[in-house]
Amino acid sequence: MKAVQVVGYGEKLQLTDVPVPEVTGPYDVVVKIGGAGVCRTDLHILEGQWAQKSGVTLPYTIGHENAGWVHAVGSAVTNVSEGDAVIVHPLITCGLCRACRSGDDVHCEQSRFPGIDTAGGYAEYLKTSARSVVRIDDSLRPADVAALADAGLTAYHAAAKAARRLRPGDRCVVIGAGGLGHIGVQVLKALTAAELIVVDRNPEAVKLAESIGADHGVVTGGEHVTEVLDLTGGHGAETVIDFVGEGGATKDGVAMLRRAGDYHVVGYGENIDVPTIDIISAEINLIGNLVGSYTDLCELMTLAAHGRVRLHTTAYPLDRFQDALDDLDAGRIRGRAILVP
């Protein structure tokens, strides 16, 4: 089968031929890929940011946002059958450790992460497990929802966590209205009555956010922090969700926060520099967000099936993977790029 692989850090990906994965264990599931999301993390992988953390041996197939159809299953798999349309949770988990037993499987002690530390979905087929596949509604196509497997799931996890504290009349600032942010806006709109303020450097991204539920849009510039403070009566927002995490976004995000507010970090790339006396005196909370759980993914797919969350996508054939990465890196993608074998 064709697969796109990392052959070296700081080098371009290569399209090559590799064997089709086979079922070797009772809970294995092999998925025929119908769509693979192109994520900014893929750019960070190529830069070498994940090299030490993942410990993966090169070359390997990249791609951690995947959906498609069940191609083959192990002897003990009962939740899906061959031919079922599925979305793939990004982690392969054990089901036995304390985190898995408590439903917090994203912190599984023995997890594997296809596309990060083992073979991913920039390919024609992907091997995963029965614990990782979620059947999708007949109204949904794999290529249309693939990026919800990680970008959407991460956005849902952060937005749902924030929504537990947001009350009607509260303000929530969303920094970044791109691949994750535009999903986060829809999730927040579905789960909370808070007033949503979206901040992005791209006017078109701000327009997209306003069209899908944002109450206010602010284009970054010299006065964008002041604009947000003005929209919040000078107090700042109860919650800030930062889908950028670099280029000065963290400094801005903290400056937009109300006393005793929650600053959710989703995007990454720079350090957060906040004097401890400011954290203590204002009692602000700095909250990290990784990808969501299997249950989070099930809930997100329910919203998608009901039309409450729609992924804005641009499709590329698998052999145009470099065009998709270049367009993402240059900021030309509105929503999410999807590779379709």
The answer to whether residue 108 scores a pLDDT higher than 80 is yes
% of the chain residues with pLDDT over 90: 91
Q: Domain spanning 155-288: which superfamily?
A: NAD(P)-binding Rossmann-like Domain (3.40.50.720)
Instruction: Kindly state the average pLDDT of the residues 9-36.
Output: 97
pLDDT digits (tens, 9 = 90+) for 23-80: 999 999 999 999 999 998 899 999 998 888 889 999 999 999 999 999 999 999 999 9
CB atoms under 10 Å from CB of 14, counted, come to 14
Cα 70–chain centre separation: 22
Cα 257–chain centre separation: 23
- The token pair at 337 is 């790029």
pLDDT digits (tens, 9 = 90+) for 110-125: 999 999 999 999 999 9
Give all strands (DSSP E) within 243-335, no chain letters: 257-265, 285-288, 313-317
The answer to whether residue 335 scores a pLDDT higher than 80 is no
Instruction: Kindly state the average pLDDT of the residues 141-168.
Output: 95
pLDDT digits (tens, 9 = 90+) for 208-260: 999 999 999 999 988 999 999 999 999 999 999 999 999 999 999 999 999 99
Instruction: List the domain boundaries for the chain.
Output: 2-150+291-340, 155-288
Instruction: Kindly state the average pLDDT of the residues 89-96.
Output: 96
The answer to whether residue 8 scores a pLDDT higher than 90 is yes
| 3-state SS, residue 327 | helix
pLDDT score at 255: 97
CB atoms under 10 Å from CB of 204, counted, come to 12
Q: What is the Cα Rg of the chain in Å?
A: 20
pLDDT score at 239: 98
pLDDT digits (tens, 9 = 90+) for 173-217: 999 998 889 999 999 999 999 999 999 999 999 999 999 999 999
Residues 6+ away with beta carbon under 8 Å from 63: 4, 36, 37, 42, 114, 115, 120, 121, 122, 123, 126, 339
Instruction: Kindly state the average pLDDT of the residues 161-174.
Output: 97
Q: What are the C-alpha distances in Å from 263 to residues 99, 168, 217, 247, 251?
A: 24, 18, 19, 17, 11
Instruction: Kindly state the average pLDDT of the residues 71-91.
Output: 98
With respect to CATH, is domain 2-150+291-340 assigned 3.30.70.3270?
Answer: no
303 - beta bridge partners?
A: none
pLDDT score at 153: 95
Structural contact between residues 262 and 165, judged by C-beta atoms closer than 8 angstroms? yes
Whole-number Å distance between alpha carbons of 81 and 74: 10
The answer to whether residue 90 scores a pLDDT higher than 90 is yes
